[in-house]
Amino acid sequence: MMWKVILYCCLLTEAGRLPMVLAHQADVQLGSSVTLPCLDIKHTDITADLDIQWWTGEHLVTRFQLGKIIQGSRYINRTDLSTKRLRKGDFSLLITHTEYSDSGQYQCVLIKNGQSMTLGEVDLEVKVRRPQRALFIKSGQGVLLSCFGHVDWSGSEAAFVQWKRWTQVVVQWKSGSLFVDPMFEGRVSVLKDRIKHGDISLIFNDTRPDDQGYYVCFFKKNNDIRPAAVINLTVTENMSRITADSGSQIQLPLPNESQVSLSFLPDGGNLTVSVCEVERHLLTCTSHYTNRTLLHNTTLILTNITPPDSGTFIVRDRGTGRTRSVVIIQIFNVGTNKITFGISIIPIVAGVVILVVLSAFSGYCCHKIQKVSRSMERNRKKETEKETEMNLLQPTEVITHEATRSCNESAIIEI
């Protein structure tokens, strides 16, 4: 979480003073916890008349009064003021399980001796992860189409929330009136309780192949209807996942129908690209795939794959546009993220064995050389003694002995 702190003067005077108000900006991910700071070391005595209040707009968030903590209706079991920190003049507010509707400006107010003083303000932004623009789901499974927004309310009812598939209205809330298209009856829902918290996601159960298409989320804000999310939903009867090494090949099964098209959505991409078309056992591919594809019966073989081939391959019926199968592929560079036992580990083991053998052989050689050196030294001493005795009887003669190599030098072995 990053904090941006801005100091500014509050133009509210109190007893001739110009109090300084700390303004903060806080960001938090939806569902996480965040602490809104509020410090005033001048008020460290928790007395009976001490009253600390946190507000956002006209809504009470949390209040500390008479030694008790009171939580606003929107924040039940989600806020906390630490009594221990209060004694140190720290009135910071903890908000847990943040909702999208928690975004807004918060004020920390101290009320003492009947007087009110704003100690701090925090602009809180609850961030949501950008929804996936393309979702793939197997027929019969459920899926959540995410959408968030600050919706206008008319009394106790949401003014307007709507989901469309292309131009077809799927579900709509309008001032308490709910409409669900008969095609989706009993299979989709938008929860009213979640709309209050800014969550207008579409809950989709028991998906069918005919459900695929572009879904758009709309809501009314400041009397203006605006789109908030666009999601391309693909529903397929067959779905599988494949992992492979770079440089290898993969097999993509095709249906028995003679006319199908194969497209590809790269990981992190937004647009699909054409790969190949199959008609009556004839394969026609785009230039990027021409020299990398083979057709064998009802299987398309893609060769010489690389990490950029990671993504989703979609097989569709060219006549109806119906998705027949989806294959999600992840390609690894050889030697990264994977350990292949029995192949890549063999050179390592062989190297270790060779080092151990060389070390043992070197130690053995060193030991033998030292033993031989000691024996030679004893023999030289004996010869020297004899030569000394002979020298006493002969003219002096200079005798040169070749120095023995050190153990370390003798242990160097060339292989």
366 or 269, which is more confident?
269
**Residues 86, 90, 95, 101: is their CA dihedral positive or negative?**
positive
Residue 342: its pLDDT value, please?
39
What mean pLDDT is predicted for residues 49-57?
Answer: 89
What is the Cα–Cα distance from 8 to 20, expressed in whole angstroms? 7
What is the Cα–Cα distance from 230 to 215, expressed in whole angstroms? 6
Per-residue pLDDT band for 367 (boundaries 50, 70, 90) equals low
- Residues 6+ positions from 375 with CB-CB distance below 8 Å: none
Q: Which two tokens stand for residue 356?
A: 């151990």
Residue 333: its pLDDT value, please?
87
Residue 7: its pLDDT value, please?
37
Cα dihedral 61, 64, 70, 76 in deg (nearest 10): 50
What is the Cα–Cα distance from 384 to 402, expressed in whole angstroms? 14
Please give the domain boundaries of the chain with CATH numbers for all domains.
3-127 (2.60.40.10), 134-235 (2.60.40.10), 237-332 (2.60.40.10), 345-410 (no CATH)
Residue 273: its pLDDT value, please?
93
What is the Cα–Cα distance from 182 to 185, expressed in whole angstroms? 5
What is the Cα–Cα distance from 1 to 401, expressed in whole angstroms? 79
Per-residue pLDDT band for 384 (boundaries 50, 70, 90) equals very low
Closest CA to 24 of 10, 7, 1, 42: 7
Q: What is the DSSP string of 356-404?
A: HHHHHHHHHHHHHHHHHHHHHHHHHHHHHHHHHHHHTTS-------PPP
pLDDT single digits (tens) 157-183 = 888 999 999 999 999 998 888 999 999
What is the Cα–Cα distance from 181 to 66, expressed in whole angstroms? 54
Per-residue pLDDT band for 146 (boundaries 50, 70, 90) equals very high
pLDDT single digits (tens) 204-220 = 999 999 999 999 999 99
Q: Which two tokens stand for residue 316?
A: 């569709």
Per-residue pLDDT band for 270 (boundaries 50, 70, 90) equals confident
Q: Is the pLDDT of residue 143 over 90?
A: yes
Q: What is the CA radius of gyration of the chain?
A: 39
404 or 269, which is more confident?
269
What is the Cα–Cα distance from 193 to 220, expressed in whole angstroms? 17
Q: Which residue has the tokens 């507000």?
A: 55
118-132, 138-152, 227-241, 331-345: least confident range: 331-345
pLDDT single digits (tens) 3-51 = 443 333 333 334 334 445 567 899 999 999 999 999 887 766 666 677 8
What is the Cα–Cα distance from 126 to 124, expressed in whole angstroms? 7
Residue 343: its pLDDT value, please?
40
